[in-house]
Structure 1
Amino acid sequence: MVNNHYHHLAFGPHTVARQQRRGSYTAYGSQTERPDDGPMRLDRREELLIASRDQFQIATVTESGWPYMQYRSGPKGFLQVLDDSRLGFADFRGNNQYVTTSNIDADGRVALFIVDYPTKQRLKLYGRAQVIDGDDDPELLDRLQRIGETRIAATCERSIVIDVEAFDWNCTRSIIPRYDREYLKDLSDVYQRKADEREAELNKRIAALEAEVEGLKAAE
């Protein structure tokens, strides 16, 4: 049975009422008829998407009650899965407005929007975030600045850790595919390797046929 915690967080009374009027309640809002299953756990599918991304959007709530959206980017994999219920990333030095971090200090609720444009996959995620200054936990910040064998070169002042509440894989219909240079190079390398292998096979076959022809000539 599908965990319904996302439905309980996203579908309030007005949402459910609209779904009932428009005929989509059975597919969505009806999940809230069961008691809330509680926080969801990340699985391999979520881990693979998150580890492959170099950007995402994070929404917080301002102290005046307004939503606030910000773009975050970094080396591929900078948003890290710490375990099956926590994410973390090293926060780069910015323009010193501190809106996102201060919003988190006041109200830890966040929403992340993570998209893989070439494959048209998108993951919506709810969580509760915490800002941890580098001086308070230098080991955590050092860990989040490391991606495999490499280290983030940008100046990082703090860690942001997110306790995952719920997530949902969204419809791919409206996503416009976009391809960066690295993706196109990787794709080109794959096709070039296949072409090289095919060429080697053909050259080997041609050499064998030429040898066969020479043998037939010698036998005449």
Structure 2
Amino acid sequence: MPDPSDPIHPVPASDIAFTPAVKAAQAERGSRAMYARVEARGGFRTRITPDLVAFLGEMDTAYLATANATGQPYVQHRGGPKGFIRVVDEETLGFADFSGNRQYVTLGNLSENSKAFLFLMDYAHRRRIKIWGELRAVENDPDLVARLMPEDYGAMPERALLFRVRAWDINCPQHIPQKIDAPLVAAALKERDDRIAALEAEVAGLRARLDARG
């Protein structure tokens, strides 16, 4: 198997997802050539780019997947104000770990297996991003928590979580239903209602002037 550190024959970043078993399934079903072209370009992206930063800045929800030592998966919802997932450096994301139901499944999994996965869905624009990496919990670092804590957010942070990005990819919009967040809908409806009220007032004024002339 190629060595990831080999500058002549590097392993494509997409191999983090495209294992030999996955490649065999692709070959059997006719998509291997397409993804081989992705691999020839180096595979998935590995650095946090401005377009990923912009995407994260609009996200108020995410799904975080971990697994224990036996491979049993667990997916947990993470949410907060838009942009609650912060960029720490060119390969690290971070977010405050808010107090919740205190099951601590994710923390337990991380004590055995640091591999993690973030799934981010933008329903309004029908976009999704997948991020593979390693996650670690940072305890007793109030300065780091303060850096990651969203401003004026009422949740209680317990620790910081740092996600080292190994690879990330953008999916096509196929099969993503378009859904609009309630605040955006409310704002659009208010704008419509305000416009209707202004037009009704204008019509009433015109009628009053016509009546005055009659």
Report if the CA contact (8 A) 1:120-1:176 is conserved. yes
Q: Which amino acid aligns with 1:26?
A: A
**Cα distance per residue 1:107-145 (max 9 Å; x no partner):** 111010001101000000001111011x2x110001111
Identity %: 32
SS in 1 for 2:129: strand
1:137-148 → structure 2 map (5 Å cutoff): 137-146=141-150
* Structure 1 match to 2:166: 165
Alpha-carbon distance in 2 for matches of 1:182, 1:84: 32
Tell me how large the CA RMSD over aligned residues is. 2.8
SS in 2 for 1:27: helix
Runs of 4+ in structure 1 over 6 Å off:
36-39, 189-193
* Structure 1 match to 2:202: none
Alpha-carbon distance in 1 for matches of 2:12, 2:95: 24
Q: Which amino acid aligns with 1:59?
A: A
Query: By how many angstroms is 1:16 displaced?
Result: 1.0
* Structure 2 match to 1:18: 25
Query: By how many angstroms is 1:188 displaced?
Result: 5.0
Report if the CA contact (8 A) 2:13-2:43 is conserved. no
Alpha-carbon distance in 2 for matches of 1:43, 1:186: 31
Alpha-carbon distance in 1 for matches of 2:53, 2:65: 20
TM-score (norm 2): 0.78
Alpha-carbon distance in 2 for matches of 1:57, 1:105: 19
Q: Which amino acid aligns with 1:154?
A: A
**Cα distance per residue 1:79-129 (max 9 Å; x no partner):** 112222111110111122111012122211101000110100000000111
Alpha-carbon distance in 1 for matches of 2:146, 2:12: 33
* Structure 1 match to 2:99: 93
Instruction: Determine which of 47, 66, 72 is the counterpart of 2:72.
Output: 66
Alpha-carbon distance in 1 for matches of 2:171, 2:107: 27
Report if the CA contact (8 A) 1:5-1:39 is conserved. no
Alpha-carbon distance in 1 for matches of 2:44, 2:178: 34
The 1:4/1:191 distance shift into structure 2, 3 A limit, reads farther
Paired residues in the alignment total: 192
TM-score (norm 1): 0.76
Give the number of the structure whose alpha-carbon radius of gyration is greater.
1
Unaligned runs of 5+ in 2: 1-9, 200-214
* Structure 2 match to 1:174: 175
Indicate whether 1:126 and 2:127 are aligned: no
Indicate whether 1:106 and 2:95 are aligned: no
Query: By how many angstroms is 1:37 displaced?
Result: 7.3
Query: By how many angstroms is 1:154 displaced?
Result: 0.7
Alpha-carbon distance in 1 for matches of 2:191, 2:91: 35
Alpha-carbon distance in 1 for matches of 2:171, 2:19: 18
